[in-house]
Amino acid sequence: MLCLLMTLPKGSMYSVNRIGPSTEPSKVLVHGDIVPTATRNAVPCTAIGCKWPKTGRFVYVPVSIGTEYSNQERDVIINALVTFHASTCIRFVWRTSDRDFLHFFSGQGCYSYLGRQNGGQLVSLQRNGCLFQSTVQHEVLHALGFHHEQVRSDRDRHVRILTENIIPGQLNYPKHQQFGTPYDFNSVMHYGRFDFSRNGQPTILARSNPNLNFGNAFRMSPNDIARVNRLYGCCEY
């Protein structure tokens, strides 16, 4: 494996086997930022084939970053990836000849696949609009196998989904498990009250407080971190 990202000098050019924008998916994104596949657009990512493999204590995820980013923009991505190193067993490393890897590029918007795919796996972080720590963490969590917070199995006890206000095509909110952690309005994976609104009215309301503001986390919450550690068996964190 290559050196961990945190050991590499900032501001250098890192991109191996760049994947061009012509490979952007043509399908409609699920929930706005998940690229659908034949088998993994709505199911929980608990199967071995969906998760990134663990070697010893760590889960090594090879990455490459497109040359279209400036040094400062690349640093935003790198710094967000390194946050996983401090609190989980996920370790992002520079890709050399690895078959499966994440490639960060400036596509049309912010989006990712759900869980590990075969080969080079696109994570789109558009230069104007997606380069924030929270957004990078959000899309990387998708790539690690995590859905949005508001589609967890117990969501109806915590939020109301106002389907009449949601843009057509975004109504499919399947439910999934969340590894024994509580519902978290502070999760970096939670959408906001007005996301996908067709009429300017709220699409998600907290049952405990309809005026509660959420969906604006700046970073992963403790529950986000706990879920990564539980899915990947990070016993030391």
Rg of the chain in Å (alpha carbons):
17
- Residue 229 CA to residue 87 CA, distance in Å, equals 8
- Beta pairing partners, 102: 63, 121
Q: Which of 139, 149, 164, 236 is catalytic?
A: 139
- Residue 71 CA to residue 93 CA, distance in Å, equals 18
- Whether residue 142 is annotated as binding a ligand: the answer is yes
87 membership: H or E segment, kind and range? helix 71-87
- Whether residue 158 is annotated as binding a ligand: the answer is no
Is 68 labeled as catalytic in the residue annotation? Answer: no
- Residue 61 CA to residue 54 CA, distance in Å, equals 9
Cα angle 23, 139, 109 (rounded to 5 degrees) comes to 50
- Residue 205 CA to residue 19 CA, distance in Å, equals 39
- Residue 140 CA to residue 123 CA, distance in Å, equals 8
- Whether residue 103 is annotated as binding a ligand: the answer is no
Phi-psi region of 203 (alpha: psi -120 to 50; beta: other; left: phi over 0): alpha
Q: What are the residue numbers of the active site?
A: 139
Binding-site entries: 138, 142, 148
Q: Which residues are annotated as a binding site for Zn(2+)?
A: 138, 142, 148
